[in-house]
Amino acid sequence: MKFEMILNPVDGSEHSMNSTLSAIELAKQFKSKIVLLHCHSRFPVVLSEPYFQQAINEIMKASEELIKPFEKVLEESGVDYEVRILEGLPGSTIANLARIEKMDLIVMGSRGVSNFEGLFLGSVAHQVLHKSECPVFIVK
């Protein structure tokens, strides 16, 4: 099996950073390209200008700040990568992007920022496992 395109969704958690490190190792072995993805919450639709644009700017700035450490690790690794910041529910957005862009593998953390104690698998990882058409590699 060949993994030319690896999708690496991140949410800023320790599990996400571990998944990025694993994605890098796989990318080096298979000469793959990584697509780093962050899904942010929906833009507010009830605000009018100028508050609507201000809300968008704040969400985008927070998303860009969140992915900076991941970009730094990817840059230092020397692997080929791209960044996507998308609006939407993470479980569906990850699976949809993987299908649309024909990803060969999704590498993601087992739990996100909420990290409920005793939960074996986070709800986003669980949704991606069930909705995705490609293999999903879950990292602790």
Question: How confident is the prediction along the chain (140 residues), in pLDDT tens digits per residue?
Answer: 789 999 999 999 999 999 999 999 999 999 999 999 999 988 777 777 788 888 888 999 999 999 999 999 999 999 999 999 999 999 999 999 999 999 999 999 987 655 444 444 568 999 999 999 999 999 98
Q: Three-class SS of residue 90?
A: helix
For 29, counting Cβ atoms within 10 Å of its Cβ (0-12 exposed, 13-18 middle, 19+ buried), the class is exposed
Q: How many C-beta atoms lie closer than 10 Å to residue 30's C-beta?
A: 15
User: Do 66 and 12 contact (CB within 8 A), yes or no?
Assistant: yes
CA triple 12-70-121, angle to 5 deg: 40
Predicted confidence (pLDDT) per residue in 111-122, tens digit: 765 544 444 456
Residue where the block lists tokens 């709800």? 123
